[in-house]
Each structure stands twice: as C-alpha cells, then as structure tokens.
Chain A
C-alpha cells in the first residue's frame, strides 16, 4: 500500500512517510499530547530525548489535512521480523482526531502489509482521544496495566491491543 489521500470521500486527510524536515512537527505533537505518546516522551520532553526516541522508530508517517499541513502521526516500532510483530502508534494534534481517524485504516493496512506482520499491537491510555474510529474493532485487548501512569493528574490504565493480520477485514474495492 502506498501513501494516499485517504480515499475519494476523505479529501480532508491524507498521509505520507515522514521526512527529516518533519521532526519539528513530530516534536511539537509529542509535547502537545504529553504523555500520551508514551514511548516518545516517557523520558521527558527535552528535545534530545524526544528526537532520539523518534529516530528509534522503524517507520514514521505524517497525517496531513487537505492543505498538506501535518495534523497527526503514526509510528511503527518494536518490529520483530522473527515473530512478524510490531507496535503501531497513532496520534493526533488536539482537535484533529477526526482527520487521523479518516486514514487510520490505511495506516493500519500499510503497517501490516509493509511490515509483513502476523500481529500488530497498539497501546493506549483508557482516556486517550479516539484516533482509530471503526478500526478499533479490528483490535482485541490482550494486556491491561492498571494505573500505569499519571495523565492530567490521574492514574490511567494502559491497554495493549492486538490485531491479527489474517483476520483483518479485506480492503474495500475502489
């Protein structure tokens, strides 16, 4: 699957692979939603720590609005070819979740197909904004870490969800 505009009925959102010039946006995104992009800001929000964590991602995509302005991001990490597994992280700038939801299915399919994955994992806090939309139903919760970390002053559970690639719905025909 290639980066796309999200389909004919979703002209407000698209995605593309991130370029080095996107690092300032990715930093701003991670800090804006801190600590929800946990892998990136768990060691703090100082630029070296954030950029260092970003660069350890296997692949990063930027979600854009209709004008091409970045509004969200997705990252594939912990890719283990031997077990054909990886973790997908998807995040949106506050207020831009609907645009990210529009391309969530494309991002998930790209991760599974591009990574040759058997299983794809997704982790979130129990009060994270919905950025997956209907794609959420493709995932099953497998592990829950209770009271994992403080988010906005309250301890929040963190759940690890799993998508089985073989059970992913077929891509709708164009």
Chain B
C-alpha cells in the first residue's frame, strides 16, 4: 500500500526529501507530539531527534490542498511475539485544532492494521498532547491502558504519560473505522 487519501490529507510513506519537515515536526516545541529533549535540561526539545533510529516505519501526513507535510506517525518497538506495536503522532502547529493530525492518526491505524500482523497498536502521549484529543477516551475503539504518573521531566517539570491502545478487533468493529472508510472513499473519488 503506497498511500491512503481522504479529501483533506494523504498518509504515505516518508521519503528522503521529507527529513527536514520531520525534524521540524519533532523539534518544534509548539508541534503536537514534539519529542522532549532526553537530557531533560532547560529549553527541552532543542536536540535534533533521532528521526530514523529505532523506527520501523514513518508515515507522513500531507495536506491535499498544499502538498505540505503537516504530520507524521512513526511505528516502533514492534513486538512480534506479543503482536504489539507502538507508534507516535506528530502534528504541525499550523493545523492544530483542525483535525488534520487526528485524521492522519486514524489513517495510520488503518495502514498499520492492514500492513502489519499486529493485535494492538499502542501509543504513549504526554498529557499536554492529550488536551488536543480531549475526547479520545470516548472513541469506541480506544482503550486507556493507564497513566504513568510523572514519568518524564519536560522543562524541569514532571509530566504524566498516558498510554492508549487500539486492538485489531476493536478497530475493525468500531464505528470510527466505518466513518473513516467512507471518508477515504470520498477522498479516492476526488483524487
């Protein structure tokens, strides 16, 4: 599968030319899902992130209207024996609050379960990112698996990390996927 498209965004495999955009997404403190500086020092998020390291796949989210990369999802730490893979989500500040990153995340789940023989796709997220997705727990396919209290230190402040998971069964049975497939059908028709 090379790409999945909705009327607004396309999820596709990252290309070499996307690296600058990916570094921007991962380092801009204003970006959704920015990676905290692992040194934990002041001015966190100042260190170039290991964009490609320990990552099994990077899918970027491209805005159809402009062709710009506005988000990315990375698949990492796939555990074949358990059938679990972890992913992260990054969204550009320019599209915050418009649903592009969330739509890209849903496309990533569809891509992940179609492409990888996994039972679960799970994500760690800072509570500050969660505010962007306040309704995530209400989604029928998403399970809140727990909260790691004060797990990381960002700018010197301990932050909670929430853990969410989507099982293959829940994804395929959920209403969210049915709505997404309808949206994909509209995107394909308009392509």
In the assembled complex, which residues on chain A have CB atoms less than 8 Å from the CB atom of B158?
A: 118
A119-174: which residues lie under 8 A (CB-CB) from chain B?
119, 121, 141-149, 160, 162
Contact B146 A141 (CB under 8 A): yes
B82 contacts partner chain A, Cβ-Cβ < 8 Å: yes
Given contacts A42-B79, A42-B82, A83-B40, contact A145 B122 (CB under 8 A): yes
Query: Which of B82, B149, B163 gathers the greatest number of chain A CB atoms within 10 Å?
Result: B82
Contact of B84 among A35, A85, A145 (CB under 8 A): A145
Per DSSP, are chain B's interface residues mostly helix, strand or loop, or mixed?
strand
Contact B153 A83 (CB under 8 A): yes
Contact A143 B39 (CB under 8 A): no
Number of A-B residue pairs, CB cutoff 8 Å, is 55
Task: Write the nearest CB–CB distance from B159 to chain A, whole angstroms.
Answer: 9
Query: Which of B38, B148, B158 gathers the greatest number of chain A CB atoms within 10 Å?
Result: B148
Contact of B147 among A118, A119, A143, A149 (CB under 8 A): A143
Contact A42 B81 (CB under 8 A): yes
In the assembled complex, which residues on chain A have CB atoms less than 8 Å from the CB atom of B79?
A: 42
**Could you list 9 further interchain pairs (A-B, Cβ under 8 angstroms) beyond the known A43-B81, A119-B150, A149-B83?**
A35-B81, A82-B40, A82-B153, A83-B152, A85-B151, A119-B151, A144-B146, A147-B119, A160-B148
Query: Interface range on chain A: under 10, 10 to 19, 20 to 34, or 35 or more?
Result: 20 to 34
B28-86: which residues lie under 8 A (CB-CB) from chain A?
37-41, 79-84
A32-58: which residues lie under 8 A (CB-CB) from chain B?
35, 42-44
A80 contacts partner chain B, Cβ-Cβ < 8 Å: yes
Bound: A145/B119 CA distance, A: 12
Mind listing 11 A-B residue pairs with CB under 8 Å?
A42-B79, A85-B151, A119-B150, A141-B146, A143-B145, A143-B147, A145-B122, A147-B119, A148-B84, A160-B148, A162-B148
Contact B38 A82 (CB under 8 A): yes
